Structure 1
Amino acid sequence: MVLAFLALSVNAVAADLPPEPLSHAGMVKAAIEQYIVPHIDALKAAAKPLPDAVAEVCKTGSAEAKRALEDRFEKVVIAYAGVDFLRFGPMLEKGRREQISFWPDPRGFVSRQMRLLLLSKDEGIANPGAIGKQSAAVQGLPALEALMHDKDVPLGPDDAAHYRCIVAGAIAANIVRLTAEVADEWEKPDGWADKMLHPGPQNDTYKNESEAAVEVVKALIVGLGLTADLQVKPQIDSKVRLAPPYDKSGLQKVFYATSVASLHQFYDVLDLESWLPPDRLWMKDWVLGTWRTIEASDGVGGRSPNAKRDDAPTLREVFDRTNGLRNMVANRLSVSAQLTVGFNELDGD
């Protein structure tokens, strides 16, 4: 009876203890296995049918083919929005991120470089790898979007669109190549996932588990900065001249919603809150309220259909809350997790 009572007492005490925080190694493993690799694979899969969709439009010019291409393009943009903030490793190497999605583009490089490319009429652009030697501005999704939505010379079987179709096909194939490269560089033996999961003295990038954990936390901070500074701020600050992402396709709201939902998922996977001491547990409620606010917005000043609050937050509130969450992660949650993320290039007001 005494032993049974002691066992019950120990179990009761254990039940009252807070859960162990996710270790730095566990944080990295969770980030890679639960988020990064699945989303990179989703981008690769979404991009694969793109060349055939372009080819069908150029062959028939039918409304059905055009709708199919728009649908396929939207799926790729949505998948890309889920990994846009992973600006390290394979995305950073060889400028793949800019090649897949050259945005922001405040100086209009996409339109300028596309105009030069179309004037060249060089059909060698269809050769494997040829488009990859051009400016990053004409290699990816924004360049393809520009061709898809050119009302003067729409893609189709007409002679006037012949060279544009060649370029569009080359861009679509290039997007497939780039997304496949990113996936392969993450997942191959001794690839980036292995590099992050096995830090040590011989590792040329991550010497310990904490350095790898800092990398994924910085990605979250960068993502919050991208949403606040590039998607929301231009709408509330007239001094910031920046077209919204994929507005020609009407995908600004979708891009915003996917960006925010993806960052929320990544935040949950990292489980930084498990490191909070008892006197800072209030931060959980603040963070929860912040996610509800930024997810209640449609990204352009209206209310999201999936909002968990009755009203639409103003864009100023969304900007301030997103920035507040960025600072919370960088200066409080990461500190509680014994990680030093330091400044990054996206820290703003």
Structure 2
Amino acid sequence: MMIRKATLAGLFTFALALQTAGIAVSEPLSHEGMVKAAIEQHIVPHFNALKAAAEPLPAAVANVCKTGSPEVNRALSDQLAKTVVAYAGVDFLRFGPMLEKGRREQLSFWPDPRGYVSRQMRLILTKQDEALAQPGAIGKQSAAVQGLTALEYLIRDEEAPLGPDASARYRCLLAEAIAGNIVRLTSELAEEWEKPGGWAEKMLKPGPENDTYKSADEAAVEVVKALIVGISLTADVQMKPQIDPKIRLKPPYDKSGLQKPYYTATVTSLRHLYNALQLESWLPANRRWMKDWANGTWRTLESSDGAGGRAAHAERDDAPTPREVFDRANALRNMVANRLAVTAKLTVGFNELDGD
């Protein structure tokens, strides 16, 4: 007993000495802390940013359809780009409000390897049913014609551009309806997270009466799975088509030239969520090498422009190849799922991409 007391006293003295010397003695971030940090630092701010980016879209479309001047066309293109980039920061949060009612597919129908957007948009434009321009009507149609990808199709159609000409009248009606639907969807997402009894409260107050999360562990697993999904999407959907010619998948929003900004926004958002979760705080001293490895991997992902080039803000002198980015992203996904999550006492299991 005396030895045990001496040992405890020694540990206390050692910890006190570290604190006195200015060296922090930190505890791992709890599962409750992970969820709180993810929601407050990452999820809610990103959905609010998406909502703010989307709100000017209807007016921007209306201005183009009214005047058709180069200035208003550039303004619409810029606003579409801002909204797409903001969406890239939340695309991987495929649970809760994004999952409910199919909002993710409605907001951005990509990837689209079978070309549903162009086929269904052509059909609508052929029929020219003006009932679709009525409030709420477009939101009852196929997800492929409701969101950003459908609006991009109309904005980037050089053969039949939006404008004040009579020939563009129906296209303008449709574009304004889609832009309004995008505003509705982004507003719903932000509201569903923040409202009383909304998804944030559901995750922050798990328990027996909670119909989704019975414990803080389950809520934390949900967020970690979203991080893994995001890394998976970066590797398999953004990078793999660049190294495997058998995969016929166009880059995200390639008609608007947004492949590189989309990639950068995705990686930036993923790392921000990764940092907020502080999974590395659970690592024992003999596994701290994982932190250094992960930092190096994030630097590699951030040094790529997503299309084989070097990012303007890169910390590396060379450009990581698509193969290197793909391999490093896959390795990071495996480390998060099989090492960091396990060390943090979280059982991730499968994610929504398994079996694809």
TM-score range, shorter chain: over 0.9
Q: What's the counterpart of residue 3 of structure 1?
A: none
Residues 283 and 115 of structure 1, relative CA distance in 2, 3 Å threshold: same
Shift of residue 72, structure 1, vs aligned partner = 0.6
Deviation at 1:31, TM superposition (A): 0.3
| Preserved CA contact (<8 Å) 1:275 1:337 | yes
TM-superposed CA distance for 1:8, in Å, is 7.7
Partner Cα distance (1:9, 1:96) in 2: 53
Unaligned 5+ segments in structure 1 are 1-5
Whether the 8 Å CA contact 2:282–2:344 is kept in 1: the answer is yes
Aligned to 2:198: 191
Aligned amino acid, residue 63 of structure 1: P
The within-5 A match list for 1:1-349 is 11-14=16-19, 18-347=25-354
2:255 is paired with a residue whose SS is: coil
Is residue 15–residue 25 contact of structure 2 (8 Å, CA) maintained in 1? no
The letter for the 2-side match of 1:257 is: T
Amino acid aligned to 1:60: T
Q: Classify the secondary structure of the residue corresponding to 1:168.
A: helix
Report the more deviating stretch, 239-248 or 16-25.
16-25
2:4 aligned partner: none
Amino acid at match of 2:224: V
User: Per the alignment, do residues 44 and 185 of structure 1 end up closer, same or farther by CA in structure 2, a change over 3 Å counting?
Assistant: same
- Opposite residue 38 of structure 2, the aligned amino acid is A
- 2:18–2:25: 8 Å Cα contact kept in structure 1? no
How far is the alpha carbon of 1:346 from its aligned partner? 2.2
Aligned-residue sequence identity (percent) comes to 72
CA distance in 2, matches of 1:114, 1:10: 65
- Separation in 2 of the partners of 1:294 and 1:121? 44
1:145 and 1:249 in contact (8 A); partners too: yes
Q: Secondary structure at 2:254's aligned position in 1?
A: coil
User: TM-score, normalised to structure 2's length?
Assistant: 0.94
CA distance 1:46–1:330, change in 2 (3 Å): same
- TM-score w.r.t. the length of structure 1 is 0.96
What SS does the aligned partner of 2:118 have?
helix
The one-letter amino acid paired with 2:330 is N
Give the number of aligned pairs: 344
Secondary structure in 2 aligned to 1:20? coil
Query: Is this contact kept in 2: 1:225–1:347, CA < 8 A?
Result: no
1:290-325, CA deviations, whole angstroms, 9 ceiling, x for partnerless residues?
001111111110100010010011110000000100
Mapped partners of 2:52, 2:241: distance in 1: 32
Distance of 1:163 and 1:138 partners within structure 2: 15
Q: Distance in 2 between matches of 1:152 and 1:261?
A: 36
Deviation at residue 63 of structure 1 after TM alignment: 0.3
Query: What CA RMSD, in Å, does the superposition of the two structures yield over aligned residues?
Result: 1.6
Give me the whole-angstrom Cα distance separating, in 2, the residues matched to 1:287 and 1:7: 32
Query: C-alpha separation between the residues in 2 aligned to 1:344 and 1:289?
Result: 25
Whether the 8 Å CA contact 1:131–1:174 is kept in 2: the answer is yes
Residue 347 of structure 1, CA deviation: 4.6
Cα distance, 1:22 vs. partner?
Answer: 0.3
The one-letter code sitting in structure 2 at the alignment partner of 1:306 is H
